[in-house]
A and B are shown apart, each in its own frame.
Chain A
Amino acid sequence: DQQVKQNSPSLSVQEGRISILNCDYTNSMFDYFLWYKKYPAEGPTFLISISSIKDKNEDGRFTVFLNKSAKHLSLHIVPSQPGDSAVYFCAARVQGAQKLVFGQGTRLTINP
């Protein structure tokens, strides 16, 4: 049972344009959502998070949007840079717990 889904295994975007990565979830008990970025041969690196009481959180070039009614969140990166090329994981946490439930990841490639 995949509670967190990233339906796009890969995404290719031109440098300078906006990258939009999507994530859907099924568990209504999730109250905190995170995005992690992963380069090859490294562990995931925390990028940005959002609490379920908010619908938007911004940090520099990165913005996460949460639509609770649709059980959908997205990560916007603007402008996209070559260093953003990586695998991005969406993760969610159940209220009262600490473990994270991860999506399968989306490989983002930024083309010059």
Chain B
Amino acid sequence: DSGVTQTPKHLITATGQRVTLRCSPRSGDLSVYWYQQSLDQGLQFLIQYYNGEERAKGNILERFSAQQFPDLHSELNLSSLELGDSALYFCASSDYYNEQFFGPGTRLTVL
């Protein structure tokens, strides 16, 4: 158990819909990262927050957005969903420069 929790574990929705994925980092970690893993692909970095502020952005679509709240949990919002958005979404946390610890992921299926 990495100490990072993600909900929900599975999400099935239709094209055009909007969903919110939730992540709680390890106790004490200020950095939260979101990654996407599509079928047979490596993990693609989406976005990083540090203590409530956006710190780095990867290849995140404009339809996607994220935020980190004062209690340090983070949410990833995916809107106008397309079939190609079906993937595993992982959240990770770290205490800045050290290793990132990953949550179990949310499997999103867009039908």
Contact = CB atoms under 8 A, between A and B. Distances in A.
To the question of whether A and B form a pair in one complex, the answer is yes
A30 interface: no
Interface string A62-85: 000000000000000000000000
Interface string A98-109: 111111110000
Given A45-B102, A89-B43, A104-B41, A98 B55 contact: yes
A9 B40 CA distance: 9
B43 A102 contact: yes
Interface secondary structure of B, over-half rule: strand
A41 B42 contact: no
Interface residues of A, number: 23
A110 interface: no
Nearest to A4: B42
Nearest to A5: B42
Interface in B14-67: 31, 33, 35, 40-45, 48, 50, 55-56, 58
Interface string A1-14: 00010100100000
Given A43-B2, A43-B90, A44-B90, A101 B102 contact: no
Interface of A: 4, 6, 9, 34, 36, 41-46, 49, 89, 91, 97-105
